[in-house]
Amino acid sequence: MIVNGQQQQHITIADRGVQYGDGCFTTMAFRNAQIEFFDAHIERLKFSCKTLNIQFNKWTELTTCIFNSLQGVSACVVKVMITRGAGGRGYSPEGALEPNYIISQHPIPAHYAQWQNIGIKLTVSPIQLAKQPLLAGIKHLNRLEQVFIKQALLESDFDDAVVCDTQQNIIETSVANLFWYKDKHWFTADLSESGVQGVMRNQILAEMRQQGLECHIVNHDIRELFGAQELFVCNSLMTIVPVTCLVNPLNQQHKSYLKEQTTALKQILLAAIKRKAVSVR
C-alpha cells in the first residue's frame, strides 16, 4: 500500500476518510501492462473531489506513484482513494487542509472471467438506495448501502442483485451498472439522484454514440426489465457480463435473456479498451 507516496500500511485515525467516509475512490483494471481507461478514472476522481470540495492537487505525483507501483506486476486491481485528510472539528471540514491519497493493489476477481463467458443470474434486492442528488454519480467512501445490499445477497443463491431507489426506479446492481435491450432500443438507468456513474458505463455510452446506437437514459421500475430481450451488467473490472435470468423473489417472476446484441456490443467495447488503455512500461 502507498500512502502519500510512501510504502506503508498505516494512516492516522484522525483522517476524515476514517471518521466520516469523507473522500472518494476508483478501481482500475491493470492487464497486459496497461491500465484500462486510466484517463477516465483520473477525470472521475477530479470530478468527485470537486463535488466534495476536496482541494487535492497532487495529480502528477499520484500518477507517477500509480505507474511506479505497477512495475513488475502482471495483472491486478488498482484502487485509489483520496480523503480530505485530518482536521476540522466534528463534521465541519474547516482546518482539513492536507488531503491524503492511498494506492493499493488487489487480485482481479477470478470469477469475473467465468461470468463473462456464461453470464450471471440476478435477483431483486430488498434494499433500496436513498435519493441524494448532491452525491449521485460519484464513488464516495460512504458505502453502507452497498454493505447492506451485499449482506442480503449472501442469503440468496444469486450472483448479484438489481437495486432500485426509494421510488422503485431501477438504479444499478451491488457492484455494477445495468443496460437492457428492448424492442430494438438500448436503455440504462438515470443516475442523477442516486447510484454510481461507472467509468465503464460512461465508456459504453460513448462507444454507443460513436456507433450510432441510441441509448435511452430512463427512470423505469423493475417491471421494465421483465419485458426486455437482453440485459447486461458492467464495471471496470468485469467489463460486460451478460445476464442469463432475473428472478423477483416478491412474486417469483422469472425472465430469461438472450445475448446476441450484448455480445456484439462487447466486441466494440474490447476494441475501445485496447485503444484507450495507458501503458505503464
Residue 88 confidence (pLDDT) above 90 = no
Q: How confident is the model at residue 280 (pLDDT cuts 50, 70, 90)?
A: confident
* Domain co-membership, 18 together with 84: yes
* Domain co-membership, 104 together with 138: no
pLDDT of residue 250: 87
pLDDT of residue 146: 97
* Domain co-membership, 11 together with 133: no
| Domain C-terminal end among 88, 108, 128 | 108
* Domain co-membership, 75 together with 210: no
**Annotated catalytic, 27?**
yes
> Is residue 272 packed enough to be buried (19+ CB in 10 Å), middle (13-18) or exposed (0-12)?
middle
* Assigned domain for 281 exists: no
Q: Averaged over 21-31, what is the pLDDT?
A: 98
* Domain co-membership, 126 together with 97: no
Domain with 34, as residue range(s), is 2-108
Given 27, 83, 239, 262, the catalytic residue: 27
Given 36, 172, 193, 207, the catalytic residue: 172
Q: Averaged over 27-36, what is the pLDDT?
A: 96
Alpha-carbon dihedral sign for residues 119, 123, 128, 131 = positive
| Domain C-terminal end among 76, 108, 140 | 108
| Domain C-terminal end among 80, 108, 136 | 108
pLDDT of residue 89: 82
Whichever domain contains 29, its CATH number is 3.30.470.10
Given 26, 36, 139, 173, the catalytic residue: 139
Instruction: State how many domains the chain has.
Output: 2
* Domain co-membership, 56 together with 160: no
Residue 281 confidence (pLDDT) above 80 = no
**Annotated catalytic, 139?**
yes
Alpha helix locations (H) across 119-239?
A: 144-154, 199-210
